[in-house]
Structure 1
Amino acid sequence: MQTQTLFRFSRRLLLPALLGLGACNFLDVGPPPTQVVDTTVYSADASATAGVLGIYIGLTSRGTNVPGIANDAALSTFLGLEADELLYATTAFDEYRLNQVNPAGNGPSLLWSQAYTNIYQCNTAVAGLTASTTLTVSLKTQLLGEAKFLRAFNYFYLANLFGDVPLVLGTDYAANSTLGRTPKADVYAAVVTDLLDAQKSLAATYPVSNERTRVNQAAATALLARVYLYQQNWAAAETQASAVLGQTTLYTLPALNQVFLANSQEAIWQLRRAGTVSTNTAEGAYFVPSSLTVAPAATYQLTNTLYNAFGTPDNRRTTWTNSYAVAGTTYRYPFKYQQRIPTANAGAATEYSVVLRLAEQYLIRAEARIRQGKVADGLADLNVVRARAGAPALSTALGQADALLAVENERRLELFTEYGHRWFDLIRTGRVAAVLGAYKGTTWDANDNMWPIPATQLLANPALTQNPGY
């Protein structure tokens, strides 16, 4: 059950309350019960492929009560509440809306545990694949690229949620369980290394034709462009984004109502929900109301500040948001994903969760160019995205400072409720206090820009320390 206490916690106050909760350390995950880690898994092509596919399944699985780090919309919902994108119909998630995340709550614990469980799977795959001498060479290379990409993906979000985190690259879970926090810069360096390796290992084509649910070389390049942007390596970010944008036969900007469809031409990487499909995507299940006649069926609602940020004209507001009215009150909600259940409930999903897409690469390159003083070129990239939305072009005469604010605004309008982009953007640019301080007033605190290390981890591993303010 979600803890509702809405004041800052200290470890001194938490310790007595948590002693009865046990000390499960999610770095000490051991072999997941559904994953065979015997070396025989990586001795044959079919079983090795199944082992790596299991990592993708782990990304789309759901933790108890709270979604997992990837496909079950945790990043989109919780971080949308943390920023200025979403409201929740009840007080159930006020700790996120008020930026007072509980270290003992489900959110930090389950996001942490899911990520490290997934990383353990990646480490097992990397070790098994590297040691194997019996796999088809091309398949071994591809699977290694996928495993390293997925490890980098998990660490990217861990570092941006929690700051310094343990960097676990091996499979000795007894040793891993006592690791301290690794500086965020070193975690980023490991992410870059994995993505560069993945670039070399992955093919330009997708492993399964007509599906974009497993990563290819462009996915590694796209995530690398984002990482370089976050590192303020502007030239490298521009180079990597340009490499993706140059693949015009594979990636295009389709109409707004086609962006989030399964195998969209804009999608660089999508996640398809595993197992029996009762919903197309977690986003659709969370955001699309179950009823348009009962309030508040739209449990996650768009803030007025986001809705009003769209200019006129801007087809993103009319296509990617929706509303309904009950008893004179209008409820607005995200509508990028429009299906709660598969078409005709036949089990064939028409929408996949889009993790990486082409528009972000235009926005990355725009910012990278502007930061290097190539303001007109950066604004040209912004105008490509705006043209697809039917929004008027920005003047290329803008100065650098105004152009950077235009990037911030365009990212807000284009990427809202997608994997926490708005929250991370405000933090990485140093704009979070100015924007959210004004929006949230007295509920904003300078330490709110990082999540707390889960309280269970602090109890289980004395080498870990808590983030300031908790």
Structure 2
Amino acid sequence: MKNLAITINYWAKSTALILGLSAMVSCDGFLEENVVSQIGNDYLNTPKGLNDGVNAAYSSMRAWYGSERGNNLTIFGTDIFTNGADGSWKFMNFYTNQFDSQNGHVREVWDEFYRGINTCNAVIDRAPNVTGLSEEVILQRVAEAKFIRAHHYFILVQLFGAVDLQLEETILPTNVVTRSSVSEVYAAIIQDLEEAIPNLEAKAKSDNYGRATRPAAEHLLGRVYITKATSEAGEATDYAKAEPLLQSVINNYGLILLPEFGDVHAFGNEINDEVIWSVQYTRDPLNNQQTNTTANPVFNEGNNAHVFFLMEYDVQPGMQRDTENGRPFKRYKSTDYTLNTIFADRVNDSRYKNTYVDHFLSNRPGEYNTTFDKSKETVTFAQGDTTIWLPGYNMSEAERAQYPYQVLTPELYTERLFPPMKKHMDPGRVDRTQFEGGRDYIAMRLADTYLLLAESQFRQGKIGDATESINAVRRRAAFPGKEAEMEISESDLTFEFITEERARELIGEQTRWLDLKRWGILVERVKAHNPQGAAGIQEFHNLRPIPQNQIDRAEGNAGAFPQNPGY
């Protein structure tokens, strides 16, 4: 398929920056992209233009899912991950005063999401005037735009609180902006999703894979209600409203929990029956870009989650960097709380085994001096021999000496050497240094639906129902034959158990910071379990700083668009 050279320019009220549009077209049942440039303002009024506009809005999801900014804003500064050795963003885990309104990640998320929102606004406003498409298709495209707009505002309101609420296309630059209340933002999100649900495809997978479907919107709206419930906009009925939406996702679309937990994120299995909706990437670096503006560079980075969770294996005896084991950024290191409490059960629960890499095989044969395991002076490897074993528990030096390879036990963990997480590993990259991963990012999956359902039921006092919802996830997570041992009783189900179960199941999937924030326990949990973040975190860190460039370009500056307290 040839790439077209087409671009549409729009002005976003809150960003006052040119939007670049990259168009995805259907090919073999998937959304695929062509680069779009140099076309006129009337293009969106055509059938192809409307489709391309919706597809361009989808591409703004890449500013969040699988990106460095999306991961840093949800993984760092939590109870289950702290910083590894490398990277210039450690201050986001430390909560130092470097994390301020000049932060590039918050600026990029803000700008990219508002560009995506304005594209959605244009699609929604112009769709009634488009001829040459069936009413059904037009309604579906508008529903998709409302799903994307609701998604973006949902992330923004969680990160920043009150934000600028724009529900109409902004064609000309303007600097008149205000911060709408959290209640107003949630009302707009809910209205968008309620209006979108009836017109989205009522199936687990769209005919053009990657498009939003009815179960995706129901899952999102269920999460919106559960999050809203503990916000300043919360209402007593929020949990009750979430429950039937989440039940519908589980019961009505043929989605299933895969029999093996390890298969959910297995490389090459990104399209599976547990996935509700994913953000698509490709192996073509040109088509992984999110925007093309004169003010900002192209974000041409692909799904980069594969680099952040890995340890420094590549300088150890018998090893060199390769595509299979990944490019180790050493960015995120699991906390002791994660390893010792969250994953305490490794006899019945398969999730520790299927979440972490526990051994490395030699790709650089030879004889070497040992590095971290001094129970032996040298080690010798043939191709494919075990070079490093991570048993997950401590043993004496004499015990380690019995093995012909280095044994990395918890007492030897450092910011460079620690259990690497394998959920996002991408051996399909073209070479061992490539940063731009090509795997789709699984943004919504059925296990999360079950856990959200359990939470909504628990909050309503439906303990028996909540217990069964959680047990569905736990039975799937069991080693074969251990299903009964994995089940909990009603007396076992506490709020703390729910927080830990979400960590076990969803670790590394860009949920934890948002969970801790909505539960109101971010500060206490970081202080309790993340030593690097404990000293710096304060209550005002429950919100991120408004980007300074947004305040500066607003008419009246901080007087009209005030910064969040503490920044």
Q: Normalising by structure 1, what TM-score?
A: 0.84
Equivalent residue letter for 2:44: V
Indicate conservation of the 8 Å contact 1:383/1:393, yes or no: yes
- Rounded to whole Å, the distance in 1 between the matches of 2:197 and 2:90 is 41
Pairing of 1:164-313 with structure 2 (within 5 A): 164-172=162-170, 174=172, 177-205=175-203, 208-209=206-207, 212-232=209-229, 233-247=238-252, 249-260=254-265, 261-274=269-282, 276=284, 281-288=303-310, 292-293=314-315, 297-308=329-340, 309-313=342-346
- Which residue in 1 is equivalent to 2:53? 51
Pairing of 1:300-379 with structure 2 (within 5 A): 300-308=332-340, 309-313=342-346, 314-322=349-357, 327-328=372-373, 329=412, 330-342=417-429, 351-379=439-467
- Rounded to whole Å, the distance in 2 between the matches of 1:469 and 1:280 is 34
- Which residue in 2 is equivalent to 1:132? 130
- Which residue in 1 is equivalent to 2:473? 385
Indicate conservation of the 8 Å contact 1:42/1:129, yes or no: yes
Residue 378 of structure 1: CA displacement? 0.2
Residue 407 of structure 1: CA displacement? 0.9
Residue 185 of structure 1: CA displacement? 1.5
Residue 54 of structure 1: CA displacement? 1.6
Equivalent residue letter for 1:75: G
SS in 2 for 1:139: helix
- Pick closer, same or farther for the CA change 1:42–1:263 going to 2, 3 Å: farther
- Which residue in 1 is equivalent to 2:3? none
- Which residue in 1 is equivalent to 2:147? 149
Indicate conservation of the 8 Å contact 1:27/1:173, yes or no: no
- Which residue in 2 is equivalent to 1:117? 115
Equivalent residue letter for 2:343: F
* Worse-matched range after superposition: 78-87 or 447-456: 78-87
SS in 2 for 1:264: coil
- Rounded to whole Å, the distance in 2 between the matches of 1:91 and 1:283 is 14
- Pick closer, same or farther for the CA change 1:382–1:37 going to 2, 3 Å: farther
- CA offsets 1:202-239 (integer angstroms, 9 cap, x no match): 01136753x64211111100100100111221111111
- CA offsets 1:68-88 (integer angstroms, 9 cap, x no match): 223425323332112123323
Indicate conservation of the 8 Å contact 2:13/2:170, yes or no: no
- Rounded to whole Å, the distance in 1 between the matches of 2:246 and 2:162 is 27
Q: Is residue 443 of structure 1 aligned with residue 533 of structure 2?
A: no
- Rounded to whole Å, the distance in 1 between the matches of 2:40 and 2:124 is 11
- Which residue in 1 is equivalent to 2:80? 85
Equivalent residue letter for 1:327: F
Gaps of 5+ in 2: 1-11, 22-35, 230-237, 289-300, 322-327, 361-370, 374-411
* Worse-matched range after superposition: 301-310 or 271-280: 271-280
- Pick closer, same or farther for the CA change 1:466–1:280 going to 2, 3 Å: closer
Q: Is residue 417 of structure 1 aligned with residue 508 of structure 2?
A: yes
- Rounded to whole Å, the distance in 1 between the matches of 2:277 and 2:89 is 29
Q: Is residue 465 of structure 1 aligned with residue 562 of structure 2?
A: yes
Aligned with residue 427 of structure 1, among 486, 496, 517: 517
Residue 263 of structure 1: CA displacement? 0.9
Residue 366 of structure 1: CA displacement? 0.4
- CA offsets 1:36-75 (integer angstroms, 9 cap, x no match): 572333322x332222112222322xxxxxxx22342532
SS in 2 for 1:356: strand
Residue 409 of structure 1: CA displacement? 1.0
- Which residue in 2 is equivalent to 1:15? none
- Pick closer, same or farther for the CA change 1:207–1:406 going to 2, 3 Å: closer
Equivalent residue letter for 2:159: L
Indicate conservation of the 8 Å contact 1:80/1:417, yes or no: yes
- Rounded to whole Å, the distance in 2 between the matches of 1:384 and 1:271 is 26
Structure number with the higher helix fraction is 1
SS in 1 for 2:100: coil
* Residues paired across the two proteins, number: 432
Residue 290 of structure 1: CA displacement? 8.2
SS in 1 for 2:276: strand
Indicate conservation of the 8 Å contact 1:288/1:340, yes or no: no
Indicate conservation of the 8 Å contact 2:204/2:253, yes or no: no
Indicate conservation of the 8 Å contact 1:25/1:457, yes or no: no
Q: Normalising by structure 2, what TM-score?
A: 0.70
- Rounded to whole Å, the distance in 2 between the matches of 1:350 and 1:30 is 26
Aligned-residue CA RMSD in angstroms?
2.8
- Pick closer, same or farther for the CA change 1:377–1:73 going to 2, 3 Å: farther
- Rounded to whole Å, the distance in 2 between the matches of 1:182 and 1:274 is 37
- Pick closer, same or farther for the CA change 1:221–1:397 going to 2, 3 Å: closer
SS in 1 for 2:60: helix
Indicate conservation of the 8 Å contact 2:215/2:253, yes or no: no
- Which residue in 1 is equivalent to 2:25? none
Residue 276 of structure 1: CA displacement? 0.3
* Worse-matched range after superposition: 223-232 or 429-438: 429-438
- CA offsets 1:317-374 (integer angstroms, 9 cap, x no match): 11112256963443222211232435999xxx98421001101110111011111111
Gaps of 5+ in 1: 1-23, 61-67
SS in 2 for 1:204: coil
SS in 2 for 1:241: helix
- Which residue in 1 is equivalent to 2:546? 453
Equivalent residue letter for 2:352: R
Indicate conservation of the 8 Å contact 1:80/1:423, yes or no: yes
Indicate conservation of the 8 Å contact 2:77/2:94, yes or no: yes
- Rounded to whole Å, the distance in 2 between the matches of 1:85 and 1:212 is 33
Indicate conservation of the 8 Å contact 2:94/2:534, yes or no: no
Q: Whose radius of gyration is greater, 1 or 2?
A: 2
Indicate conservation of the 8 Å contact 1:251/1:268, yes or no: no
